[in-house]
Amino acid sequence: MDLAYKSALELQALYRGGKLSPVEATKAALARIDQVNPRLNAFMVVDAERALLAAQRSERRWRMHEPLSPLDGQPVTIKDTLNLQGYPTRSGSRTTPETPVLEDSPEAARLKEAGAIILGKTTTPEFGWKGMTDGPLFGVTRNPWNLERTPGGSSGGAAAALAAGIGTLAVGTDGGGSIRIPASYCGLFGIKPTFGRVPHAPHVGPFSTLVCSGPLARKVADAAAMLDELARPDARDWFALPYDEESFGRDLGKGVKDLRIAFSPNFGEAKVDADVLALAGAAARQFEALGAKVEQVGSIVPALRPGFEKYWLAGFGYTLAQIAPERHALLDPHFLPLAQRGVSVSKEEYFAGHMARVDLGTRLERFFADWDLLLMPTMPVPPPLASTAYHVQGNDRWEHATPFTVPFNYTGQPGASIPCGIGKDGLPVGLQIVGPRFSERLILQAAAAYEAASPMSWPQAAIERNLGR
């Protein structure tokens, strides 16, 4: 417990002062996995042997005062939609190969080059298809705040592990909210960067122009430090933005004075739980107290479902078409009927969805001509029971899971979720901070100012009780 909830920057200071070694921190993280993962089910793979070898190398570098980066010696995790050399990439599915991949993804490669200690691969629903984390391959991943609830998805294993005090940072991916949803449900900070900011490969599948990788963290400064490393160039990603050597943590201390900030509690005509709405509204007022010029605005854009549902289903249809029919019975039984519907989406309907993306992006580009940042709840409702089926009445994807998150995958804009309080049910609520494209530093700056005024404390007594500590 002395080490479980240290921030990355706190560990770095301990390493620098010779008061802790990366080997000690890694052993503590692996012990924590043994203690709490049986209740969470957050890992597909725990790579203890290679983690300890990497920790020994990091320890030698710190002894020589030659760390590779601020991440050197940091225990981290990586989501099982990303390639980690020597292990299969199952993407949460029984239909994917069990053959180990031969090379690291850009994200894993950057972590290793920075000296980070990869503890293992975390769980994800099949192909990252939903905002919960469960599936036929590995079972149900649970939220450490309440083991009956979902941690969200699709980076649910990453968020559950981090909120439970395993490691200092986690890498998630986000194609519709998959970093921000579990960040909100697990009381973490998570940022989806501008599309192309973090090199990603291979780009496969119909959602390849929506998916971004990014950090989950317990502290904003930790996320900024990880983003510095993840954003380094990799020639394998044709979509990658030009590399910007300026640190993403450069402006963390600047505050929000005089920033023009809009608050949209019902963005996209979303219907929001009263408790969530109250906490998000209080957070918006906190920004005003910090010196920002905050104004409540309307829904800004119409409901997304009419323009995008068939576009979403078409992607599943494409995925299904790549899987041999005799293996369809292995799929998540809730994914299969949606994918079957997607097979019948016409080319005209699919391209109508593409043009709806263009229209949405144009609307929001014009919006940000007048505003620096946009605030809204990250999620419209508290986390549902982990046993709840996804995209059914009472847990509809468009109404209850992604109305605030998926728009910014369609437009490629950056967005972050930061904790803004604990609801009456004892579960955390997230506030989403969105900016125009390429504005990660401004989002991090605003998040750091809010965090300083309204910090989330770690450890949380509720989590430790649930984990039997």
Please list the active-site residues.
79, 154, 178
H or E, element range at 192: strand 189-192
Tokens matching residue 191: 């940022």
* Residue 121: other Cβ atoms inside 10 A: 27
Q: In what order do the strands lie in the sheet with 373-377?
A: 43-46, 117-122, 75-79, 169-174, 212-217, 189-192, 415-422, 428-434, 373-377, 260-263, 293-296
Q: What CA–CA distance (Å, rounded) separates 262 from 433?
A: 10
Task: Identify the burial level of 277 via C-beta atoms within 10 angstroms of its C-beta, where 0-12 means exposed, 13-18 middle and 19 or more buried.
Answer: middle
Give residue 436's Cα distance to chain centre: 19
Q: Which residues contact 262 (CB under 8 A, 6 or more apart)?
A: 294, 295, 296, 297, 300, 367, 371, 373, 374, 375
User: What is the β-pairing status of strands 139-140 and 189-192?
Assistant: unpaired
Q: What CA–CA distance (Å, rounded) separates 166 from 164?
A: 6
- SS3 label, residue 101: coil
CA-based angle 439:123:23, to the nearest 5?
85
User: At residue 249, what are phi and psi to the nearest 5 degrees?
Assistant: -90, 10
Question: Residues of 171-209 as b/e, b for ≥16 C-beta within 10 angstroms?
Answer: bbbbbbbbbbbbbbbbbbbbbbbbbbbbbbbeeebbbee
Q: Which residues contact 260 (CB under 8 A, 6 or more apart)?
A: 292, 293, 370, 371, 372, 373
